[in-house]
Chain A
Amino acid sequence: MTLDELILNCKKQDLKAQEKLYKKFSSTLFSVCLKYSRNYHEAEDNLQDAFITILKNIEQFKGKGSFEGWMKRITVNTVLQKYRKQRVFNLSNEEQIEEEAEVEVEDTKIPLDFLLKIVQELPDRYRLVFTMYVLDGCPHKEISEEMGISVGTSKSNLARARKILQTKIEEYHRENDSR
């Protein structure tokens, strides 16, 4: 069954087609969720909510552009919406810092698990800005619109996220080198 047929059957709310669609894309979408969520468990919750939204709104996908891109966008939006509800974006008295040009780290064999873990451990908004900007390549303007923050705040959050991550990576190196 081609992807188009699968989508067509999903539009008819055919449960078997829906399951096939899930099996085909769950890994891709789950990786998105992992990058944007606080932990594994929340990522699963978000994947669940996002996929239900996808199935409910699949009628709206008119075949323009990539279906995978469309699903990813819905997934990211689901997560953003969730954190928007939790008001994590309203950090008060936040001092904006300037972006530093050189945040460099040693590229030795750092496990991916560790990198994911430190991203997830970032404060919510730093994590979302960092993931959107660095991992998904969104410009600050788009991030600011998506999250309802200013471009300045977005840049500042990114800089803070980088700092935190850099510190953690350096700590990691220290611990592993000393062993």
Chain B
Amino acid sequence: MKEKKHIDQLFKERFENFEATPSPQVWDNIQAKIKEEEKDRKIIPLWVKLGGVAALLALILTVGNSVFGPTTTPSITEEKTEINSQDSENNNVINKNNSKKTEVVSEDNNHLKDAINNSTNENEVKSDSHIEKIKKNATLSGTEIAYEDETKKASNKNENNSEINIKEPANKTSTINEAVVENDVQKNTSDLPSNTEKPGEGSLINKEKAIPVIDGKEAVVENEANDPKNKDAETIPSETENKETDVAITEETNKRSIFDAIEETNDDEAVVETKNNKPDNYWEITPNVGPVYYNSLSDGSSIDPSFSDNPKSGELNITYGVQVSYNLNNRISVRSGLSNVNLSYATTGIELGNGPVSVALKSVDYDKRDNVIIAVDKGALADQSMEGEFGTITPKSTSGEPSINQKISYYEVPLELKYALLNKKFGVNLIGGFSTLFLGENEIFVDAGDFNETLGEANNLSTLSFTTNIGLGLNYSFSKKLMFNIEPMFKYQLNPYTESSVDFKPYYIGIYTGLSFKF
């Protein structure tokens, strides 16, 4: 006879000692998740900080842009759209434009002279300041031309001189243009409202370009100065007839002041160069990666002063990140971004022991452990094992040469200026700036052959520090939109430690390679 039982009773009894073993995979997953979450926990507050920095940067860029060049940017864009419409043709057409330009100039020569006379006359009546300006410009151009002559005489051989010649006078003429144009504008406002903007653009661009003149970089001046001229040349075909007088004035003045120079110069080259002046793309985004080498300029130790004279060796690690740059013109760009930098170095000439945390390294946060691995200068244990502060340490025998290692990772937000020395298909750039470093991971561990143990985190690292950066950028353009970069950079840390007494002056050298996408 089969016994019947309440179903609850049955299940209760059968499951009373029920146990089952999960597959080992479960622990692996748990372990992986714990590590991942530890990382996330560190990253989240960092992202909050970075968000703030990014917002600040964006603010600086926006405000800076509107303060330093409110009309420049829109005019450039306007110009760019105009150019873009013809862009594909432009390269081929440059020479054509150029010849057109001369044509226009010669055709309108008489008109121009009249126009200039008119405008100057009218101007005389209207305002004294303008006259002064014109006079000033006139004298300036005089000196320029004189200078030009001098350089010509002094000139030895090459294109450089011819380029300089063009530039200098061109620069002047553009200032003259500015004045003349101004007058012209006053005169013509009623019938040519659209023209008012044009000369403005020219002069503004000219001003902007004038900045590099301060550096005495004539090569730059050349391009800059030519810019308004170039623009006018390019706009000629797309402009209405009304424009012609205006353009002609500019051209005419250009022609007169650089007359001699033009004769001797390869005009095409000048035009090509001026075209390059405007960046093809204003933005660049560059994911990059590279090896970084970390070391110190001084002998000190960041871990403990007793290791000051120990041999130390920097180690190769990796950095990776993304850079965003904005091209102010085709020579200068400002850039920022975010990257992760991993740094480490090893200190040797030590020995290891077990002992109480009270005699352990002060710069290490042992996380409440009482008995820890202690690293001391080699020989220290033998000397003092009888008595003294190391008396409580049990030496640890190790199979290999023990070393104490510091591993740091930073999140780096750079702010750098890049200046192009050469910006053809192959480019050479100088890079300078600074970076803000946010401390990420940080670990001190000991390593001796088969023995490896993490001591803890260093407690003397600044969570926020800075570097000054200098470097050289080499690039190769595959196309207008894609460029390969390799940039050896030297970065010197300014305040890596919270205690100023730490005599360790770390720097790192990175060779950043990346692909730039321009847009």
- A interface, CB within 8 angstroms of B: 12-13, 15, 18-19, 22-23, 26-28, 30-31, 34-35, 43-44, 47-48, 51-52, 55-56, 102-108, 110, 112, 115-116, 119, 134-135, 162, 165-166, 169
Contacts and interface: CB of A to CB of B under 8 A. Distances in A.
A115 B30 contact: no
B490 to A, nearest CB: 38
7 nearest A-B pairs in the assembled complex, by CB-CB distance: A104-B4, A107-B5, A27-B19, A30-B22, A106-B2, A103-B7, A134-B8
Given A30-B20, A106-B2, A47 B26 contact: yes
Interface of B: 2-8, 10-12, 14-15, 18-23, 25-27, 29-31, 33-34, 37-38, 367-369
B6 A106 contact: no
B33 to A, nearest CB: 6
Given A28-B19, A35-B15, A105 B30 contact: no
5 contacts: A26-B26, A28-B19, A104-B6, A105-B5, A135-B11
Contact of A26 (B12, B22, B29): B22
A140 B20 CA distance: 27
SS class, residues of chain A in contact with chain B: helix
Nearest to A56: B37
SS class, residues of chain B in contact with chain A: helix
A23 B11 CA distance: 27
A106 B2 CA distance: 6
Contact of B14 (A26, A27, A28, A115): A115
B13 to A, nearest CB: 8
A29 B2 CA distance: 34
Given A12-B367, A52-B34, A115 B19 contact: no
A105 B7 contact: yes
A104 B23 contact: no
Contacts of A23: 27
B28 to A, nearest CB: 10
Contacts of B7: 103-105, 162, 165-166, 169
B14 A134 contact: no
Given A19-B31, A162-B7, A165-B11, 6 more contacts: A12-B367, A26-B26, A44-B23, A48-B33, A106-B5, A115-B10
Contacts of B11: 115, 119, 134-135, 165
Contacts of B19: 27-28, 30-31
Contacts of A19: 27, 31
A24 to B, nearest CB: 12
Contacts of B14: 110, 112, 115
A122 to B, nearest CB: 12
Contacts of A166: 7
A135 B18 CA distance: 10
Contacts of B37: 52, 56
A134 B19 CA distance: 17
Contacts of B34: 15, 18, 52, 55
Contact of A107 (B4, B21, B25): B4
Contacts of B30: 22, 48, 51-52, 55
B3 A22 contact: no
A102 B4 CA distance: 10
Contacts of B369: 12
B368 A104 contact: no
A52 B20 CA distance: 19
Nearest to A22: B27
B58 to A, nearest CB: 36
Contacts of A28: 19
B12 A30 contact: no
A82 B325 CA distance: 46
B22 A47 contact: yes
Given A22-B30, A105-B5, A134-B8, A27 B20 contact: yes
B42 to A, nearest CB: 13
A15 B29 CA distance: 13
A112 B10 CA distance: 11
A103 B6 contact: yes
A105 B10 contact: yes
B489 to A, nearest CB: 36
A26 B5 contact: no
B422 to A, nearest CB: 53
Contacts of A52: 30, 33-34, 37
A43 B369 CA distance: 36
A119 B368 CA distance: 46
Contact of A108 (B2, B25, B27, B368): B2
Nearest to B21: A27
A9 B265 CA distance: 82
A31 B3 CA distance: 28
Nearest to A158: B8
A123 B7 CA distance: 18
Contacts of A105: 4-5, 7, 10
Contacts of B21: 26-27, 30
B364 to A, nearest CB: 15
